[in-house]
Each structure stands twice: as C-alpha cells, then as structure tokens.
Amino acid sequence: MSEAGSVLILDHIRRSFHQGDTVLEVLKGAELAIETGEIVGLVGPSGAGKSTLLQIAGLLERPDGGDVLLDGDSCGARDDAGRTALRRSYLGFVYQFHHLLPEFTAAENVMLPQMVAGKAKGAARERAIALLADVGLENRAGHLPSELSGGEQQRVAIIRALANGPKMLLADEPTGNLDEQTARVVFDMLKETVAASGIAALIATHNTELAAKMDRVVRLQEGLLV
C-alpha cells in the first residue's frame, strides 16, 4: 500500500455485523491508497460490503478496527464534530439516487452545501451556475428536480458533490438507477468533470464497461481489496 501523495488511505479496515448469534465479517482488513487525480473503480458482488466500505471511507460510519487517513491525517480519534468538518471540506458524495431536495431548483440544490460551508449566497449562486454550465445544464438552473430527466438529476447531484471543492469524491453506483445509454453519458461526464478538477475518486459500480474506463479497478472479495 503506497502512501506518498495519497489523499485517501484505508488502513486495515475491519467491520462486522451481528445477526442474532451470528457475527458476519464484512471487511477483514481492507487496504487501499488513492492518489490525488486518480479515479478508482470499486467492484464486487452484491453484499460484498462495497457500500459499507464507502461509508467508512466517507467518515459516515466507524470501522471496528483500522483507520482512515485523509491527506495523511488519521481520522480514527476524531469526534463526530471533527469528522463532520472533514467531510464538509475534504469529501463529496454521489449516490445511486440523486437525493436532490424536491422543493429547491437545480441551482439552489448546488448552492446549499456551499452556504452551509459558509459561502455567501451570491457567490454560491455564481459557482452553482458555472458548474451547471460545465455539464450543459445552465438552461435548467431554475427547474425543480421533478422537471428534470433522470440523467439531468444525476448530473446536478454530481456537481453538487463537487461544489465545495472536495479533494476526494466517493460515489456509490452513481449510474445504477439510469438506463444503459444515459448511464454511459452520465458516467463519461462524471469522469471528465472529476479529471478536470484534479481530485481523486472512488466509484463503486456493477457495470464492468464503466469500470474499465477508470484509471484502475479494485475488487472487494472476501472482506479484502484485491
């Protein structure tokens, strides 16, 4: 596991779940290092623990053992407030479902995380419009999510994740809810946008065609990354 220049390091991550009297070991010492600017695909069978791994990498869940390092800094001992602050400044998230707030326009959905982070409304709107333009949606800025297609909704969700300039993007099946053609278009846009921003990305997918387009692919197998 290389550490020099790594924006994210997963160091011997272990996670188990209890089902009655049974202990299910999902992660058994998973290790991964991702460099700045690198786009890594995460594959594996359903139930292998990909979402659990992403939740831990995103500081949304604590592992039973091991540590998560961002820019070389250990996150294990951080309290909840500290972890929230790190998520806000270091990480962006994209999920299979867009999770846009239905009562807000596309532009407002991209503005909100910026304003939560302390940016003034005018500056947040300016950046939101610029990001929407980057993905060809400037003419949809005033539309509600219900007025957007599935592909448009997911494009808004992606740029919302990038709005605060994170160093690391975590995506859990970001095209899994789209038809094949739309998934291809949205993924290509995601890859181009992430590459242009120079950040790192870890993207879980079942789509082998899309995984093959990433810089490298790791497989979660029997609790380990191979």
**Domain assignment present for 138:** yes
Strands 73-74, 91-94: pairing is unpaired
The answer to whether residue 13 sits within a structural domain is: yes
Structural domain for 102, as ranges: 6-225
Q: How many domains does the chain have?
A: 1
| pLDDT at residue 197, rounded to an integer | 82
Would 84 be classed as within a structural domain? yes
As a whole number of angstroms, the distance between CA 55 and CA 64 comes to 13
For residue 27, being part of any structural domain is answered with yes
Q: Does residue 139 belong to any structural domain of this protein? A: yes
**73-74, strands of its sheet edge to edge:** 22-35, 6-19, 65-70, 73-74
Confidence (pTM)? 0.88
Residue 1 in any domain: the answer is no
CB 73 within 8 A of CB 93: no
Cα–Cα distance for residue pair 35/199, rounded to 1 Å: 9
Q: Is residue 39 part of a domain?
A: yes
What is the C-alpha to C-alpha distance for residues 91 and 96, in angstroms, rounded to an integer? 17
61 occurs within a structural domain = yes
Q: How many CA atoms lie within 13 A of 178 on its CB side?
A: 25
pLDDT value at residue 37: 87
The CATH number given to whatever domain includes residue 38 is 3.40.50.300
pLDDT at 1: 45
Of 184, 208, 221, 190, nearest in space to 53 by CA: 221
Q: Which residues of the chain have pLDDT under 50?
A: 1-2
> What whole-number distance in Å separates Cα of residue 92 and Cα of residue 166?
6
